[in-house]
Structure 1
Amino acid sequence: MTNTKVAVIYYSSTGTNHKMAVWAAEAAKETGAEVKLVKIPESAPDSAIDSNPAWRAHVEATKDVPEVTLSDLEWADAYIFSIPTRFGNVPGQVKQFIDTAGGLWAQGKTVNKVVSAMSSAQNAHGGQEQTILSLYTTMHHWGAIVVAPGYADPSSYAAGGNPYGTSVTVPKPGEMNEDVEEAVKFQAKRTATVAQWVKAGKEAN
């Protein structure tokens, strides 16, 4: 069987979801998967970015990270998304990219992709779960197979107990209230492993 291919796709304004994506990519590689770490393009105007020094600093610090393309979606057997909450929903940058994938969807090229998602917000009840579920709604339309962490590992409890996907509270840039690294890594390994099972089943048939 050929190696499972995992695209870790993130959007981050001040660095939290970039850090989670890096952890996820490291963990997915440990399963033997071929992994791409790619970012969703920034579409906010400079006036918005410059209003937050941490946002501008992160944009500059990650300028060499490749931007996700539709080819990455087609290439991967599994997607791991890490995205922040925006008013209880996915950021506009994420929605804008997803909306460009209609051609792949129409060709059936998103069917049976294995997907999992993570999120963050400033407040404990700031919409982390809703953001993940909003993304999963799109994934159901894509015909993808959603793989949530559930409570399958103790790390989920230490990270705050979000069964839909690891999430973290970030009151200030760089400050994570919960210890989520192990939960992120468990979720990534679980996603890559399930993708291996799905791929093996497809190749067997």
Structure 2
Amino acid sequence: MKVLVLFHSIYGHIYEMAKAVEEGVKEVEGAEVILRRVPETLSDEILGKMGALEAQKALSQVPICSLDELSEADAIIFGTPTRFGNMTGQMRQFLDATGGLWANGQLIGKVGSVFTSTATQHGGQESTILSFHTTLLHHGMVIVGLPYSFQGQTIINEVSGGSPYGASTIAGGDGSRMPSENELNGARFQGRHVATITAKLVR
């Protein structure tokens, strides 16, 4: 059973969440997990002006995903920051190149799941994941979220992301806030949950 964790990250918040998702997948017996990123379309000049070059150096150790790796996976867990309540343009561009996979039905029946990050508490935590689901449904994927059995999403004593649609983190307006332990636990739970369901489907 192969689980692909595919993400886009600029400042490293989604990368940290992706690594937690990876940890959760590894907890399931028989699960092989592959961590991949989508290509960055912004130039180094622009990334430098955004203060993101240092984070990009760390991200460069993660291989860029090929389209074949999507069709080879039994489940795909996508991670993307929010842009105006939707996925980033980089993730959208990558998915727009999957027309061939769609035409051949190569993702039908595979498990799909999404996690995200936003600058503010209500900056697209839910809409980004829900709008992402539209693409997964067009591919015929089986959508899995983050159930309330992860009780960390019900806490009210601290600022935290997380919804039944998927794990999430709040980066802060200046990007200085990295994922909290509760948010990382949500990502681990989601990875484990997706892998557990996928194992049942591939039997």
Q: TM-score, normalised by structure 1?
A: 0.91
Q: In structure 2, what is the Cα distance between the partners aligned to 1:42 and 1:184?
A: 23
Q: 2:177 aligns with which of 172, 175, 178?
A: 175
Q: In structure 1, what is the Cα distance between the partners aligned to 2:188 and 2:179?
A: 17
Partner residue, 1:29: 26
Q: In structure 2, what is the Cα distance between the partners aligned to 1:42 and 1:58?
A: 12
Partner residue, 2:195: 192
Distance 1:199 1:79, change over 3 A: same
Partner residue, 2:163: 162
Deviation at 1:150, TM superposition (A): 2.7
Q: 2:87 aligns with which of 84, 87, 90?
A: 90
Q: 1:48 aligns with which of 46, 49, 69?
A: 46
The residue identity in structure 2 corresponding to 1:175 is R
Q: 2:17 aligns with which of 7, 20, 23?
A: 20
State the identity %: 38
Q: In structure 1, what is the Cα distance between the partners aligned to 2:154 and 2:53?
A: 33
Say which SS state the counterpart of residue 38 (structure 1) adopts: strand
Given that 1:115 and 1:144 are in contact with CA atoms closer than 8 Å, whether structure 2 keeps it comes out as yes
Given that 2:77 and 2:114 are in contact with CA atoms closer than 8 Å, whether structure 1 keeps it comes out as yes
Unaligned runs of 5+ in 1: 201-205
Unaligned runs of 5+ in 2: none
Given that 2:162 and 2:183 are in contact with CA atoms closer than 8 Å, whether structure 1 keeps it comes out as no
The residue identity in structure 2 corresponding to 1:42 is E
The residue identity in structure 1 corresponding to 2:193 is R
The answer to whether the aligner puts 1:117 opposite 2:114 as a matched pair is: yes
Say which SS state the counterpart of residue 149 (structure 1) adopts: coil
Say which SS state the counterpart of residue 186 (structure 2) adopts: helix
Q: TM-score, normalised by structure 2?
A: 0.92
Partner residue, 1:203: none
The residue identity in structure 2 corresponding to 1:59 is Q
Deviation at 1:60, TM superposition (A): 1.2
Map Cα deviations across residues 45-86 of structure 1 (whole Å, 9 max, x no partner): 233211122x11111122121001111101100011111001
Map Cα deviations across residues 129-160 of structure 1 (whole Å, 9 max, x no partner): 11111110100000000001131221222444
Pairs aligned (count): 196
Q: In structure 1, what is the Cα distance between the partners aligned to 2:149 and 2:136?
A: 22
Alignment of 1:72-91 (within 5 A): 72-91=69-88
Give the superposed CA RMSD: 1.4
Deviation at 1:161, TM superposition (A): 4.6
